[in-house]
Amino acid sequence: MLLPNTSPPPPPGLSHCFRPKGASTSRLRLLRLKVHGLQGRVQRQETPSEPAVTSQSPGDRDRAAAAPPDVDMSGKGEVSPAGAEEERRRRSRIINVVYLITAVDTTLMFLQFSVTPYLAKKLGFDTLWFGYLQTTVGVIQLLGGPVFGRFADLHGARAALSLAFAATVVFFLLMAVASNPLMLFLPKIPTVFMHVLPASQMVITDLSQPEKRADGLSKLGLSFGIGMIVGSTLGGQLNTRYGETFTACFGAVGSFFTLLLVLKFIPKQPKIKIQAPAQKVTTKASLC
């Protein structure tokens, strides 16, 4: 026969000190800690993370304000799809301008080829001295080629093209004022910097994609061929109707026009690399 439990109940203020049999205080505390830890992890995952605030220098802030909204000025070279499309259009525009200035320069070069024999005959050159004159041009350009190439490597395609067209302007002006055989040799001195075609090839190589580079250079050769045809015809017509001086002045004006095109459209550093925008990959932490 079981006897009834006659033990008195615990006092009201000390009821929390009595635990049922088999319960461990340390195990209960450990269970509570695990539950609170899981709740904290869930809350951290549900709360959106705030973007990190980085300090920018005044120069970075000015460049970011001046840049289009689609372009990333963080220095990582990342642009949005809209910015990449705008960059492709800008490259295409620059390449078309290079084709134009190459065609104009070739036109003017063959224009002076049409003028030089008549001007040399007018100043009393015979066949031998005319050969010396042409040889002088070849030697000067041969010596100036490496110097011009090094200048282009150091200062960029824009500076190289500007130097080449400025030299072409001086060349035609000296040809226009030539009045004796010695002065006909002076216009050949600026030809040391008249290397427009290599500088144009430099721009096309820098701006075109590797798979489209051969196509871009072949179109540059097409521009050269067009200028060859137009320049020979135009030089003969101008020289016949208006004389050698007018034709040389026409060449100087055309060279100055192409110089303005270079300063307007050709960037200082055309070589630009575009990287694909970075993709952020987020993973969810396990609650187990």
Selection from 65-74, 122-131, 154-163 with the highest mean pLDDT: 154-163
Mean pLDDT value across residues 186-208:
91
**For residue 149, what pLDDT is reported?**
92
pLDDT at 18 over 80: no
pLDDT at 74 over 50: no
Which pLDDT band, with edges at 50, 70 and 90, does 238 fall under?
A: very high
Distances (CA, A) of 212 to 84, 158, 217, 219, 241: 17, 22, 9, 11, 43
Instruction: Compute the distance between CA of residue 172 and CA of residue 166 in angstroms, rounded to an integer.
Output: 10
Which pLDDT band, with edges at 50, 70 and 90, does 275 fall under?
A: very low
**For residue 81, what pLDDT is reported?**
77
Mean pLDDT value across residues 132-154:
92
**For residue 11, what pLDDT is reported?**
53
**For residue 73, what pLDDT is reported?**
39
Q: Which domains can be identified in the chain, with CATH numbers? A: 81-265 (1.20.1250.20)
Instruction: Compute the distance between CA of residue 12 and CA of residue 263 in angstroms, rounded to an integer.
Output: 95
Task: Give the mean pLDDT of the chain.
Answer: 77
